[in-house]
Amino acid sequence: MENLDLYVLRTLRDWRLAGQRAMLVTVVRTWGSSPRPVGSIMALSEQGAVVGSVSGGCIEDDLIHRYTRAYQSDAAARDAEPHAIPAGAPQQVKYGISADEAHRFGLPCGGTLELLLEFDPDGGTLQAMVAQLEAGAMVRRTVRLADGQCTLEAAQAGDGLLLDGQQLSNTFGPEFRMLLIGAGQLTEYLATMALFSGFSVTVCDPREEYRGAWSVPRATVLSDMPDDVVKAFRPDRRSCVVALTHDPKLDDLALLEALETDAFYIGAIGSRRNNEARHERMKQHFDVSDETLARLRGPIGIYIGSKTPPEIAVSVMAEILAVKNGVPLPRDMAVAAAKSRLDDATPALTAPVCGVR
């Protein structure tokens, strides 16, 4: 799955350029618990088609019922109640003000949503916005509440939604990107999870025997040397780089390049011992400082007792999403800390296995 906001905007653009009437719905305020955060968007066509979401489904159903004829099954009902998308200025509506309404629309206890409904957004402006997002830019979209007129301008990471009495501004970013070094089985599981989490995925492996067995569609697979791929990839604050080969000749140079970028997550697979050896190599041979190496995560993932490739992929993806979403992870969830604690409690009886300890 691609970035959800971009998918919604692309679909809305296509509807409008094809001459279909449609509306854009934005969550602008929430009180109490809410199923979707402020800034979430959905689009609704005059035929009743929906992309995106603002709730668990009940509010979407209500909007379909109010503004389309999709749920009217006979001609008499359609003639008696000509539900249609209105024209004119945007409207603000609230759901969940009363306990009965909150229950009806599936909102959590005490939850209230305020939505802005925009009718027939301009297709040309949507086209320009999608093009900027596809080119990797961040875009602030501002709509004038008096008449629905829309403007676009460059935005900075961290800009959110702003609503005052005159206008609504909402910031949209391009897809998050993931660069994976190595095309083994673990990479396939991690790439799959990243794709359905909204990342675009690039996989790099110069080893033909690994690339030839690759089976995940929609991930870009490259054969160049990893450090060259990192340079060309140009990781930014919406990018992560993960080394998964266990081969220092492939991983180390790529990680060194990544550490020179703004990537929000840089990590490498391996045991605690391998991670320590990697740090020593980088300090001794490449004069990398401890401050720089503090950005390099390893062993990667959160501790869930994972042993198999799919379980390890779940662990790694969970850590990446936590970092992306700004969620601090307790120290005892880190793989190294958890395994050290287990070692103290139960002395090892066997030799450590690569990638496990």
pLDDT tens per residue, range 301-312? 999 998 899 999
Domain final residue pick, 122, 146, 163: 122
Q: How many domains does the chain have?
A: 2
pLDDT tens string 181-230: 999 999 999 999 999 898 999 999 999 999 998 999 989 999 999 999 99
CA atoms within 13 A on the CB side of 179: 31
Predicted local confidence at residue 149, as pLDDT? 96
Q: What is the pLDDT of residue 30?
A: 86
Is residue 182 domain-shared with residue 247, that is, in the same domain?
Answer: yes
Report if residue 340 sits inside a domain. yes
The answer to the question of residue 131 being in a domain is: no
The two three-digit tokens of residue 119, written as one number: 């009718």
Mean local confidence (pLDDT), 26-31: 89
Determine the Cα–Cα distance for residues 272 and 276; give it in Å rounded to an integer: 6
Residue 70 resides in a domain: yes
pLDDT score, position 136: 82
Residue 12 lies in a domain: yes
Q: What is the domain extent for residue 292?
A: 176-345
Length of the chain as a residue count: 357
83 and 186 fall within a common domain = no
- State residue 69's pLDDT score: 79
Residue 246 has pLDDT above 60, yes or no: yes
Two tokens, residue 84? 């249609």
| More confidently predicted of 329 and 19 | 19
Q: Which of these, 85, 93, 96, lies nearest to 58 by C-alpha position?
A: 96
Backbone angles phi, psi at 242, to 5 degrees: -130, 125
How far apart, in whole angstroms, are the C-alpha atoms of residue 66 and residue 94? 14
Lowest mean pLDDT among 24-38, 42-56, 272-286: 24-38
What is the residue whose two structure tokens read 């007792």? 305
Percent of the chain with pLDDT over 70: 85
**pLDDT of amino acid 33:** 64
87-104 pLDDT, tens digit per residue, is 999 999 988 756 566 556
**Amino acid found at 95:** Y
Residue 135: its pLDDT value, please?
85
335 falls within a domain: yes
Q: How far apart are CA 345 and CA 70, in angstroms?
A: 62
The structure tokens listed for 209 are: 């025997």
- pLDDT confidence of 330, banded at 50, 70, 90? confident
pLDDT at residue number 350: 45
Q: State both tokens at 324.
A: 């992306």
Q: What does the mean pLDDT of the chain come to? A: 87
pLDDT bin (cut points 50, 70, 90) of residue 356 is very low
- The answer to whether residues 182 and 324 belong to one domain is yes
65-74, 130-139, 167-176, 332-341: lowest mean pLDDT where? 332-341
Domain presence at residue 171: no
From first CA to last CA, the distance across the chain in angstroms is 34
- pTM over 0.85? The answer is no
Residue 334 covered by a domain:
yes
Residue 149 lies in a domain: no
Token code pair at residue 289: 């400082």
Query: 118 and 181 share a domain?
Result: no
Burial degree of 104 (CB within 10 A; 0-12, 13-18, 19+)? middle
pLDDT at 345: 66
